[in-house]
Every structure is written in structure tokens, then in C-alpha cells.
Structure 1
Amino acid sequence: MKKDISYPIKESFYSIQGEGFYYGIAAYFIRFGGCNIKCDWCDTKESWNIEKKDFISIHKIISNVVNNNHKIKTVIITGGEPTMWNLFPLIEKLKKKKYRIHIETSGSYPIKEKYVDWITISPKKIKLPIQENYKKINELKIIISDENDFLFAEEQASYIKSTNCFLFLQPEWNNISWILPKIVSYIKKNPKWRISLQIHKILNIP
């Protein structure tokens, strides 16, 4: 009998997407363990390290989604850095169940976009996205923690040739009171950008 593939899953839950283009929609989140970047300001540092107990079979992952709520339409695969792992077997099975698949990634690993409906790349200076991934992106999300990040945002946006990619600036949560007015001012001067707020934190939900 063929052994079921397992993945390191730190948590999975049904909630509201709080960021980016699809903010406000109900979605089931699957958070993968493991990260190759480990940002100082990361708000999910618990996802960095992987333990043996974290590994869950594809069968169990799918079962958790199906049994959570029959009205689930969208599954968001996030991390950590989910593209460290071969996601294709999981995504293929989720698509057979008719779920819409979104991936949130730094873009630092190759993205196999088959069956993926929406790709959000949030680049990090410490390890930039693979150039090929800029061709696959639907949404670019830059975390702004200081004024130098605006230059980084423009540099990253310059690599994207598609006119169908949405550009977002998101304040780093710990600096939000200081940096948010600067983001608003910047977007007013550069209206190709949109603002992304972590609505789930404002609502105090997962």
C-alpha cells in the first residue's frame, strides 16, 4: 500500500482573510512549518521550527478541511514558507474537492502554479524572490517597517511586467501607529499601490 504523504502543519483553522486583495473573505488556512528567512518582526515565529509531531498526512489535512465547514470555498496555504515543500500532491487533491487555492509565499523557492488560483508574494530583503516567480504573481505585498522600505517596494514592483498584478503596502504591525500615516501619504502620491491592513488583528481573530 502506498504511504500517504505528510507535511509539517503548525496550525489550520477557518477564519477571515485579513490581508491583501481578498481581505474580508472566509477561508480555511493551512499554516506550514519551516522558514528559510525568519524575519525579526515575524508574527508567526512559532512556525519556524519543525517537530516530528507536526507532520500530518494529506488524508488528514483534507479531512480537516472537509469536516470543518461544508461552506468553505477557499483554502489559503501559508507559513512559514510553504513552498519549501512539494505542495503539488496536496493542492491536486484539494482541487478535486473544488476548493479555490491561494498561496502566500516569499517567492524564494520555485512556485509550481498548476491548480493554484492566487499567488501572493511578500518579498524579503534577506532572500529575494526567484526571478521566474515574478511572472506568476497575482499580488505583491511589501511589509513597510521604515521609510527605506518604500524604495524596496518600487524595486520589487519594477520586476513585474503583468498589468494584472495588484500592489500592496502593509504596515509592520509593531510600528503601525508611526508608519501608517506615511503609507497613506505615499499611496496618495503613488496610486498604483493599495494599502493592506491586518484586519484579523484588529478583530482579534486568528
Structure 2
Amino acid sequence: MAAGTDNALLDGGRLLPLVEDFYTIQGEGYHAGKPAYFIRLGGCDVGCSWCDAKYTWNPKLYPPTDVGTVIDRATSCAARAIVITGGEPLIYPLGILTGELRRRGLEIFLETSGSHPFSGVFDWVCLSPKRRQPPLDDAYGRAHELKVIVESEADFEWAERNAARVGRHCRLYLQPEWSVSERVMPAIVEYVKARPEWNISIQTHKYMRIP
């Protein structure tokens, strides 16, 4: 459990530290371009230097929110897919949230570093492994999509190390770290051309100037 959270306060997952929730277009990975309702939870103990959501790291900034309120907002719009992200959402018990969303007929996608045990039910798991706190063994077998952030060519070896552990049907993506994307993109392009089992993920929502 992340610093500043308490199992009793979360009431078994009926309350969660909500940073924000909104309807937008998924910008990255396999589901890029798909309309989706995002549920972003606060709290992360991985702490990547290049993270573009550092404001989510401290869960104390986000008082526990009734998941029923979030579910009602999600189901009141046209979205047919839900993305649960963070921070690191697997810090928290997600069974109640995901179970009710599934009951209401929504697809549920998870974005995680895999560094905490799984809870909840998901139709799609995007595993984005981080060196500072690598995924637990169980995470690799659950991944439908492996998305590795690339800051430099040294990250290709890290990508291959993780790709060797996922299932054979898992989709493989390399995504340039946004602040150095122009510098590293040529190397990523050549790498993927030589190894076509990989794909390139681009943060298209930043070009669209949407959340």
C-alpha cells in the first residue's frame, strides 16, 4: 500500500484516491485512437524521472472518493471502454470498481508497471515495466501489451529482457520518452524495422492536444 493510504480508509476498494476522471481518446499503444473514459488514481512508488504525471505520486493529495460516483460518471457518457491508470493503480484493491464496470457492460483496460499484485478484472492489460521497480513475475503472464519507454538505445536491451518474459501473443511496443523523442526516434525506427515483432507507440494525444 502506498505511503499515506490506509486499508480501512479505502473500505476494501469502495473508496479510492481519485486524481481525475475524463472522457478522451486513448493516445498510446495498441488502442491508440479509441474513445475511452480514463480513471486516474493517485499514488506511485516507482518514481520515474521522466514521468509526465508526477502530480499523481502523493496519494495524500487526493482524498478517497466513492467509486460509485466515478462509475456513474463513466457510464453516463458514450464511452464503451475504461482505462484505469495512475500513478500506479495496482497499489489499490480494484475488484469493486472493475467488477461493477464489467457488470455494466464496459471494457476495462489497465495501465500498470506491474510492480504490485493484481486485483480486479480486466479485458486488456498494458504492462509498462520500469527499471527502478521491475514487474512482479505474475504481471508478465497477464500482459496483452508490453510498452517499453525508450530514453536511449540502452533501453533496447531492457525491452528485450522484458519481451522474453511475456506470452507469445503479447503485443510489443517501443515508445520514445516524450522529451527526447526527436533524438531517439531514428534509432527506434531502425530497431523496429530490423525486428518486426516490435511496433512503435507514439503519444498521439499530445499532438491532438487532448488529455
- Corresponding residue to 1:126 among 113, 116, 132: 132
Q: How does 1:1-206 map to 2 (within 5 A)?
A: 5-51=14-60, 53-67=62-76, 69=77, 71-112=78-119, 115-160=121-166, 162-206=167-211
Cα distance in 2 for residues equivalent to 1:54 and 1:189:
48
Question: What is the TM-score normalised by the length of structure 2?
Answer: 0.92
Runs of 4 or more, structure 1, over 2 Å off, are 51-54
The secondary structure found in structure 2 opposite 1:51 is: helix
The secondary structure found in structure 1 opposite 2:205 is: helix
The secondary structure found in structure 2 opposite 1:83 is: helix
Identity across the alignment (%): 40
Cα distance in 2 for residues equivalent to 1:147 and 1:163:
24
**1:169-193 alpha-carbon deviations (Å, 9 max, x no partner):** 0000000110011100100011110
Question: What is the TM-score normalised by the length of structure 1?
Answer: 0.94
Is the 2:18–2:62 Cα contact (8 Å) retained in structure 1? no
Cα distance in 2 for residues equivalent to 1:72 and 1:12:
12
* Structure 1 residues 105 and 53: CA distance shift in structure 2, 3 A: closer
Structure 1 stretches lacking a partner, 5+ long: none
The secondary structure found in structure 2 opposite 1:140 is: strand
Which residue identity lines up with residue 165 of structure 2 in the other structure?
Y
* Structure 1 residues 5 and 12: CA distance shift in structure 2, 3 A: same
Number of residue pairs matched?
A: 200
Cα distance in 2 for residues equivalent to 1:150 and 1:96:
40
CA RMSD, aligned part only? Answer: 1.3
Which residue identity lines up with residue 87 of structure 2 in the other structure?
G
Which residue identity lines up with residue 10 of structure 1 in the other structure?
V
> Which deviates the most, 30-39 or 45-54?
45-54
TM superposition shift of 1:54 = 3.2
The secondary structure found in structure 2 opposite 1:154 is: helix
TM superposition shift of 1:52 = 5.9
Cα distance in 1 for residues equivalent to 2:200 and 2:64:
35
The secondary structure found in structure 1 opposite 2:59 is: coil
Cα distance in 2 for residues equivalent to 1:202 and 1:35:
26
Which residue identity lines up with residue 134 of structure 2 in the other structure?
L
TM superposition shift of 1:136 = 1.0
Structure 2 stretches lacking a partner, 5+ long: 1-10
The secondary structure found in structure 2 opposite 1:168 is: strand
